[in-house]
Copies of this chain bind each other. A is one copy, B any other.
Amino acid sequence: MRILVTAACAASLFASAAFAAEDPAAVARDFQARASNGGLAFEIVRSLTTEVGGRLLGSPGDGVAVEWGERKLKELGFANIRREEVRVPNAWRRISERAELVGVTRQNLRIAALGDSPSTPEKGFEAEVVRFPSLAALEAAAPGSLTGKIAFIDTHTRRARDGAGYGEAVVVRSRGAPLAAARGAVAVVIRSIGTDSHRFPHAGLASWGQDHPPIPIGALGNPDADQLARALERGPAKLFLDLRTAVAPATSYNVVGEIPGDGSSDEIVLLGAHLDSWDLGTGAIDDAAGIGITVSAAKAIAERGAKPKRTIRVVMFAGEEIGIKGALAYAEAHKAELPKHVAAMEADFGAGPVYRVTPDPSLPAALQTSLRSALAALKVEAGSAKAEVGPDLGPIHAGGVPTIGLALDGTDYFDVHHTEDDTLDKVDAVAIAQSSAAYATAAWLAATHPEPLKRGTSGESN
């Protein structure tokens, strides 16, 4: 209790001392009005998805996206715009894919090869399918029991606002192939990690252990997985699979731009989202939405008049989908500068709205308080646990950079995530404006906070 009172006093003291006693809620309302007026976040999503479309690292779209990113930051008046190289030795791509349920007729099933899947043998092959209702059931299968067969891992993804159901299910994508290979399987098909009931397979990265050579792995849309499960209820079933994929070295770039600070401009408040996308759709919710939210938030700060003392840096990360390649490169390239990264926010969970704020406990208590009270004006609740750290902030967070978690409502996110259906029409213009305002508010408060924001020292007041 004493701590809270102290924090509140400190907040009001610093606020009145330094920035003419800005009411945090008024800051949020101001950014909400700016975000709603003109709808820049939505317009950025429209521009990226229309002009570029899909942009998997290594595809032509990825190169066009980097040019788009630089051009867009320039158009919007950002400073210090640059591209920072990200090299990938084995950028994967799909060439073609076909799956058929073989019975009296051959029924086409919609399949997508998962990222890094090798090709099936030339012209495909047919094999018997063995269904496992869970990864645990596959783990319980005896060695050699799948020799020459296709393992079908049939796990459903639970819908949840915070994406917890994805976390539970996605291990099927990462651990399914090595477990099946260890038991002799020649290929794996999984029920897509997704919450919709449409015939869209959900792409995503697979992985293999060191013990067995990689085997082909693909995902079926939920209705197709239902169909395969029903066929297997009636008796043995075979699948025909023909997946063609390839890999090649590729280079991409993190695209960076800044709204320079005034006074402590060497201190950085980072706003990040990823520029790449899976190849099937146009990457609207994943992650043009994040690009729209963060770029529009920084632009709103620039337009507000008074320069914040710290620099706002927007980073459009490369290659998030294929293993946070850009984030790893950024952390490495900016290693020396990381202590100057005083706060970081990421938007990579759709268009919003933002429903919860969770500042890193190492941030000054007064800043935490003003973040919570400002965002309450946008109907954002205060999180009680540790701040969620998005994928692209992982490496710099591990390097000591404190984050401000802004949770985007992901209730419908896994309906279209990584599918062909990830297109502009799935982005809600009202929701993304609120998200833009929430990010702008948080970045503004961090960039203008009067106390020092030094990692491991300013946090001591907690």
Contacts and interface: CB of A to CB of B under 8 A. Distances in A.
B227 A50 contact: yes
A423 B222 CA distance: 11
Contacts of A200: 198-199
A223 B424 contact: yes
A309 B200 CA distance: 50
B52 A105 contact: yes
A64 B104 CA distance: 7
Interface string A138-158: 000000000000000000000
Copies in the complex: 2
Q: Which of A53, A110, A199, A426 has the largest count of B CB atoms less than 10 A from its CB?
A: A199
A103 B52 CA distance: 9
A109 to B, nearest CB: 10
Given A50-B234, A234-B50, A105 B425 contact: no
Contacts of A110: 420
| Residues of A in contact with B, size category | 35 or more
Nearest to A103: B51
A54 interface: yes
B425 A197 contact: yes
A421 B221 CA distance: 10
A421 B199 contact: yes
A61 interface: yes
Interface string A50-85: 111110000011001000000000000000000000
Nearest to A52: B105
Interface in A99-116: 101, 103-108, 110
Nearest to A101: B53
A282 interface: yes
A107 B226 CA distance: 30
A33 to B, nearest CB: 27
Interface in A352-393: none
19 contacts: A51-B103, A51-B234, A53-B105, A53-B227, A54-B107, A60-B105, A60-B106, A61-B105, A64-B105, A107-B282, A110-B420, A197-B426, A199-B281, A199-B420, A223-B423, A226-B423, A227-B423, A227-B424, A230-B424
- The 6 A-B pairs at the shortest CB distance, nearest first, are namely A53-B107, A223-B423, A50-B230, A197-B425, A61-B105, A199-B420
Given A50-B230, A60-B105, 20 more contacts: A49-B227, A50-B231, A50-B234, A53-B101, A53-B105, A53-B107, A53-B227, A54-B107, A60-B106, A61-B105, A61-B107, A198-B198, A198-B200, A199-B420, A199-B423, A223-B425, A226-B425, A227-B282, A227-B423, A227-B424
